[in-house]
């Protein structure tokens, strides 16, 4: 198979390690009962497939040459390779779709912040009083 064997073994190893990924462990530990664990386990391969669809965006950005666009040079200087996917979105999609994509990213980030970092004052008060 030549060089392609590396990709085949990577895919096989990733499939075997599917239930070691952090999102898999979170799905099991956050379950309320056995049935929820079964339901979460049934959807984990689909979730992992969707994550795998996001991974090539960095390679797509390199192939599209967004790092060479003069308009994005200051942003690449400031953020480095972390700006590759946003530059790809700005380059290949219409402006309205880029706005929707960035709004979805902002909503997801704020959701993570609210659930994992921010604690409401009532939760703090209840924790200290009890």
The number of angstroms, rounded, from the C-alpha of 62 to the middle of its chain's C-alpha atoms is 19
> Under 8 Å CB-to-CB from 23, ≥6 apart: which residues?
44, 47, 48, 51
Altogether, the residues listed in the chain come to a count of: 130
* Rounded Cα–Cα distance for residues 102 and 67 (Å): 19
* Rounded Cα–Cα distance for residues 68 and 51 (Å): 27
* Residues 35-90: tens digit of each pLDDT: 887 887 777 777 778 777 777 887 888 888 898 999 999 998 999 888 888 999 99
Asked whether the whole model's pTM tops 0.85, one would answer no
* Rounded Cα–Cα distance for residues 108 and 28 (Å): 21
- 31 in Cβ contact with 40 (< 8 Å): yes
* pLDDT exceeds 80 at position 21: no
The pair of three-digit structure tokens given for residue 81, joined into one six-digit string = 């390779």
For residue 90, the SS3 value is helix
* Residues 100-111: tens digit of each pLDDT: 999 998 988 888
The sign one gets for the Cα dihedral 30, 34, 35, 39 is positive
Can you give the pLDDT at residue 126? 52
Can you give the pLDDT at residue 38? 81
């Amino acid at each position: 198979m030549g060089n392609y064997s590396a990709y085949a073994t990577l895919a096989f190893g990733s499939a075997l390690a599917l239930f070691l990924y952090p999102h898999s462990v979170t799905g099991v530990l956050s379950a309320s009962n056995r049935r929820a664990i079964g339901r979460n386990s049934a959807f984990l391969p689909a979730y992992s497939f969707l994550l795998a669809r996001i991974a090539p965006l960095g390679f797509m950005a390199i192939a599209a040459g967004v790092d060479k666009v003069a308009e994005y040079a200051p942003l690449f200087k400031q953020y480095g390779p972390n700006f590759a996917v946003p530059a790809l979105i700005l380059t290949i999609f219409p402006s309205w779709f880029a706005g929707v994509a960035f709004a979805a990213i902002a909503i997801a980030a704020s959701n993570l912040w609210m659930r994992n970092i921010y604690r409401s004052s009532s939760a703090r008060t209840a924790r200290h009083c009890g």
